Structure 1
Amino acid sequence: MVSARLDDQVAIVTGASSGIGEATARILARDGADVVLAARRRGELEAVADDVADEHGVDAHVVPTDVTNEDEVEALVDATCEEFGGVDALVNNAGLGVGGDVEDLSTDGYRQMMDVNCDGMFFATRAALPHLREADGNLVFVGSFAGQYPRPSNPVYAATKWWTRGFAHSVEAAVGDDGVAVTVVNPTEVRTEFGSEDGTAFEETFDPGEVTEPEEIAEAIAFAARQEAPTTTSEIDVYRRDKFAHF
């Protein structure tokens, strides 16, 4: 069953200072959830939180967090439970894409992607799972088209997203009996800051209407977060309509 609202629910969103994470915080708040916004940039988080609280009348709590730091991630979940009494949904969204060809990717770039895209997902999941069990909650991972099909232009980024899907579905198998729902949402190109780490951001590369907007991915995430026991939506693909045209 899918609830139409998320009233009295508490959701943590990582990578919430911009892009898909920001849009997700806004959509979850629109649906009635109190939101905890996590990212490294305090100023951006506070601006989003102020907007969300003013527009939707929910509580929006800011916890600056580097997801690659397990102590900070533990503190994020502890702060959420202290403020709200528990966690009903975790949106594992923080991620980045650095470099390209294997031969051109620096070791630092490789480590950075692995740290954020893999370790960050693990740390947040580990910290939140006990609370999600108590709440029969929803655990949502932002994956990628690149986690389902080869990406010759950036094999390491693709590998991190294959890892995300493999980890998410294996966690789903482990905690389904405990009442925890797990969903992977897979976008293709989305007009966000993605790509700006070492090149041009997708929001600059693509014109409005050319590829997916972050709000469209946020709606899919919110749909997953509204799932009620005993049902889960295991995977949601949100693709450009012409994505398969090159095959």
Structure 2
Amino acid sequence: MFGKNQTAIVTGGNSGIGEAIVYALAARGMNVVVAGRRQEENERVAAEVADRFGIEALPISVDVSKESECHGLIETAVQKFGGVELLVNNAGIGAGGKIMDTDTETFDRVMKTNLYSTYWCSRSAYASMLENEVVPENGLRGGIINISSLCGVEAWSGVGAYATSKHGVMGLSRAMADEGAEDQIRVAAVCPAMVATPLTGASGPDVLTPEDIAKTVTYLLDLSSAAWPKEIVLNRRGED
């Protein structure tokens, strides 16, 4: 059970999926670190958390495409709250275009923001979680949830860089899930199909909402240590 008096970090937590996850975690009584590039938006979400839930939220401006800032994010959270029980790697960017039309600069930016940031934040958070006591209710020291994509298990023309980054996230997540088992740290990936966010601009009855993803995250948090899956794929209507 993840909840009251525990701390969660959500990257990309100031809009869309990340914002919905922040509110869902605060509703459980968790202290939440709202991490994102735009500090004014981080502060807006943190203020909303305090107003709606009476929970302390810490807004931190971070560029997750930079290793030093990822490590600094975790360190700041640990210093503030004394530890971290949950990391949600949600920050990400898209980049359209076929692989042959994608320049190295764009490809590198997508990899650093989507894949490398997941690696950097997870390494630092994992090290901190090793210092946590095992919680009797769920048998865990901590959890890491990576918000991937249906593009992480499939791929299509026109989203090559994005799909490559999300496939990388899936490989990283699966490896960390195996490695974390012996340390009582669970790792899972959530792979949604199209979600209605500012990034996608998508809408319609078949499109997932940020709240759908947030509910999936909280579903994971209520599972016992033995029941955590490595990944959950949210594919609308079972389409390929």
TM-score (norm 2): 0.92
| 4+ long deviations beyond 4 Å | none
Whole-angstrom CA distance in 1 between matches of 2:147 and 2:16: 12
Partner SS state of residue 164, structure 2: helix
Contact 2:96 2:158 (C-alpha < 8 Å) held by counterparts:
no
Gaps of 5+ in 2: 133-140
In the alignment, structure 1 residue 119 sits paired with structure 2 residue 116: yes
In the alignment, structure 1 residue 223 sits paired with structure 2 residue 223: no
In the alignment, structure 1 residue 104 sits paired with structure 2 residue 117: no
Deviation of the 1:171 alpha carbon: 1.0
Contact 1:138 1:227 (C-alpha < 8 Å) held by counterparts:
no
Partner SS state of residue 178, structure 1: coil
In the alignment, structure 1 residue 148 sits paired with structure 2 residue 157: no
Give the match for residue 84 of structure 1.
Answer: 81
Contact 2:66 2:112 (C-alpha < 8 Å) held by counterparts:
no
Cα deviation digits, residues 54-89 of structure 1 (max 9, x gap): 101111001111111121111111111111100000
Deviation of the 1:173 alpha carbon: 1.1
Give the match for residue 46 of structure 1.
Answer: 43
* CA 1:228–1:8: 2 relative to 1, 3 Å: farther
Whole-angstrom CA distance in 2 between matches of 1:93 and 1:226: 20
Partner SS state of residue 68, structure 1: coil
Whole-angstrom CA distance in 2 between matches of 1:47 and 1:124: 23
Cα deviation digits, residues 138-173 of structure 1 (max 9, x gap): 100011111111222212211111110100110111
How large is the RMSD of aligned CA atoms in angstroms? Answer: 1.5
Partner SS state of residue 96, structure 2: coil
Choose the corresponding residue for 1:177, options 169, 173, 182. Answer: 182
Aligned residues: 232
Contact 1:6 1:226 (C-alpha < 8 Å) held by counterparts:
no
Partner SS state of residue 11, structure 1: strand
Partner SS state of residue 97, structure 1: coil
Choose the corresponding residue for 1:212, options 195, 202, 208. Answer: 208
Deviation of the 1:242 alpha carbon: 5.5
Deviation of the 1:230 alpha carbon: 4.3
Contact 2:31 2:56 (C-alpha < 8 Å) held by counterparts:
yes
Give the match for residue 198 of structure 1.
Answer: none
Identity %: 33
Deviation of the 1:226 alpha carbon: 3.5
Amino acid at match of 1:124: C
